[in-house]
Structure 1
Amino acid sequence: MKIGLYFGTFNPIHIGHLIIANHLAEHSDLNQVWFMVTPQSPFKVKASMLNNHDRLEMVYRATKDYDKLRPNAIEFGLPQPNFTVDTLAYLEEKYPTHEFSLIMGEDNLKSFHKWKNYELILENHTIYVYPRLSEGVVETQFDNHPKIHRVEAPIMELSSTFIRNAIKNGKNVKPMLPEHVWEYVDEMNFYK
């Protein structure tokens, strides 16, 4: 089984996340996309960051109607600070019959050479890169790399930061969130 790993804080998960993940699940060789909810760093406590449980709950609610999209909280139980290379090693041990790939925006690819053991990740995993409008350039070593696949996915210029700020300012963000996520955010009075 081929699994795409989509890492993020998902604070909150929004329709842009779902569109990209579903696009990859339907239009690539991936069988499933797992939303890897990253834990709040004990070293970087942000007032705007919801706790792990609430962010996982929103991802669960957002993905429950999609067969190929799954929430995953495996990083909550790993030692902190955690690095992607460590999560991949853990997943390979836990699911030896699965093949794991990374899903990232082009903005993340621009800093990928700074990741811990990025060479090891590239050696053992495929990376699916979706387009983002962002500053800077991608390292030339990643141009035409056989393990890096650029995906013709819709460009989603919607961010969780924008949504949080809009909610704080009393704006209606309902169209930007999956219905079940909007209901949870509204019910819990998040980001106000």
Structure 2
Amino acid sequence: MKIGLYFGTFNPIHIGHLIIANHMAEHSDLDQVWMVVTPHNPLKKKSTLLDDYHRLQMVHLATEDFPKIKPSDIEFKLLQPNYTVNTLAHLQDKFPQHEFSLIMGEDNIKSLHKWKNYNTILEHHDIYVYPRISSEVENLELKNHPNVHLIDAPIVEISSTTIRETIKKGKNVQPLLPYKVWDYIDHNNFYKK
């Protein structure tokens, strides 16, 4: 089975994440997309993150009606801060029957050369790249690499940061979130302070 790994803090998961994940699951050769909840991104301040298990629960709620999209807490069990190359090695050991690929935006592929052991990732894994408004695919160095696949997915510019800031201001963000996720956030009074 070919699995696409979509990494994120999902703080919170929103409809933009689901649109991209579903598009990858339905319009590429991927059999499933795993939404890998990142416990701590070395580039983000830990204090801005909701508890890991709340974010994982929101991904469960958001994906339960999508059979090809699965939540994953695989990185919760790894030493932090973690690197993608380590997660890929761990998954390959744990699930040798699967082939793992990465899903990322054009903005991330541009900085791939800064990732730990990025050559190993490129050599052994396909990378599915979805477009971003702020990116220019013509300038993408790796666009012709045989393991890099540019996917003509819808451009979705919804940010978790904007959602958190909007909730803090007491504004309605309900249309940007799967209903069960909005309900979970509202019930727990998340992001209001």
Normalising by the smaller structure, the TM-score range is over 0.9
* CA distance in structure 2 between the aligned counterparts of 1:13 and 1:41, rounded to whole angstroms: 15
| Cα distance change, pair 44–129 in 1 and its aligned pair in 2 (3 A) | closer
TM-score between the two structures when normalised by the length of structure 1:
0.95
In structure 2, the residue matched to 1:85 is: 85
Which residue type is aligned with residue 12 of structure 1? P
Which residue type is aligned with residue 107 of structure 1? D
How many residues are aligned here?
Answer: 191
What are the residue-to-residue correspondences of 1:89-168 with 2, within 5 Å? 89-134=89-134, 138-140=139-141, 142-168=142-168
| Cα distance change, pair 42–127 in 1 and its aligned pair in 2 (3 A) | closer
In structure 1, the residue matched to 2:70 is: 70
| Cα distance change, pair 156–99 in 1 and its aligned pair in 2 (3 A) | same
In structure 1, the residue matched to 2:187 is: 187
Which residue type is aligned with residue 19 of structure 1? I
Contact 1:48 1:191 in 2 (8 A): no
| Cα distance change, pair 26–42 in 1 and its aligned pair in 2 (3 A) | closer
TM-score between the two structures when normalised by the length of structure 2:
0.94
TM-aligned CA deviation for residue 34 of structure 1: 0.2
Where 1:54 maps in the other structure, the secondary structure is helix
TM-aligned CA deviation for residue 80 of structure 1: 1.3
* CA distance in structure 2 between the aligned counterparts of 1:129 and 1:139, rounded to whole angstroms: 11
Q: Which moved more, 1:42-51 or 1:6-15?
A: 42-51
Gaps of 5+ in 2: none
Where 1:153 maps in the other structure, the secondary structure is coil
Q: Which moved more, 1:35-44 or 1:12-21?
A: 35-44
* CA distance in structure 1 between the aligned counterparts of 2:20 and 2:44, rounded to whole angstroms: 27
TM-aligned CA deviation for residue 48 of structure 1: 2.9
Contact 2:106 2:129 in 1 (8 A): yes
* Per-residue deviation, residues 72-121 of structure 1 (Å, max 9, x unmatched): 00101101121000000000000001000000000101111100011000
* CA distance in structure 2 between the aligned counterparts of 1:63 and 1:143, rounded to whole angstroms: 30
Where 2:92 maps in the other structure, the secondary structure is helix
In structure 1, the residue matched to 2:59 is: 59
| Cα distance change, pair 139–162 in 1 and its aligned pair in 2 (3 A) | same
Gaps of 5+ in 1: none
In structure 2, the residue matched to 1:37 is: 37
- The alignment-based identity, stated in percent, is 65
Where 1:154 maps in the other structure, the secondary structure is coil
Q: RMSD value over aligned CA atoms?
A: 1.6
* CA distance in structure 2 between the aligned counterparts of 1:148 and 1:48, rounded to whole angstroms: 32
| Cα distance change, pair 173–155 in 1 and its aligned pair in 2 (3 A) | same
